[in-house]
Amino acid sequence: MTAVPDWLIPPEGGFTADDLDHMPGLPPHTELIDGSLVFMSPQKYFHMLAVDLIAQGLRATVPGHLRVLREMSVILGKRDRPEPDISVVRAEAVTEDADETGYQASDVVLAVEVVSPDSVERDRDTKPRKYGQAGIPHFWRVEKSEGRRPVVYVFELDPATRTYVVTGIHHDRLKVGVPFAVDIDLTEIDQL
């Protein structure tokens, strides 16, 4: 039996968002949900392709006051620091030395999650609920359709309830006007 590293034992009350930056040996892409560490499984090929496609599409149209990021954590509160697959943040949140390991929820305009078999519940329920409670105005969930094409579910925050409302389900083309004009040919995944 292998001993568990000391850093893996949570303190009373669970880990905090600040703890992630100071834990030696922490596996890459570790998230904090409700004070508990969540380790990522190896990603599937579809996941990689979908993240690439959406990130490229966002970067092609993102206005200058915003930045498109991949796999950077978002501090939602003391006990929550998930890592969206893609996020769009205010440019002023990215410092000149670019040493950030995460961003505040108030700097995030859009969070995107590509659903994987091991993250279905987190990506469909836990994370969007927490993103909404933290006030992130837009959320997209990307799922694999029959075959290998993505389906993008687009949500906008209802500020009165701090919950998301679906504003569209996009199959072959993702064309929206908010949070900025985006037009992504989702069938291009076949060429990646």
What is the tens place of the pLDDT at every residue in 23-49? Answer: 888 888 899 999 989 988 888 999 999
- In this structure, of 3-7, 54-58, 146-150, 167-171, the range with the lowest mean pLDDT score is 3-7
Kindly report the average pLDDT of the chain as a whole number.
94
Give kind and range of the element (H or E) at residue 151: strand 150-158
Whether the CB-CB separation of 55 and 31 falls below 8 Å is answered with no
pTM of the model: 0.93
What is the tens place of the pLDDT at every residue in 145-177? Answer: 988 899 999 999 999 999 999 999 999 999 999
Is the pLDDT assigned to residue 1 strictly greater than 70? no
**CA–CA distance, 183 with 185 (Å, rounded to integer):** 7
SS3 letters for 35-103?
CEEECCCCCCHHHHHHHHHHHHHHHHHCCCCEEEEECCEEECECCEECCCCEEEEEHHHCCCCCCCCEE
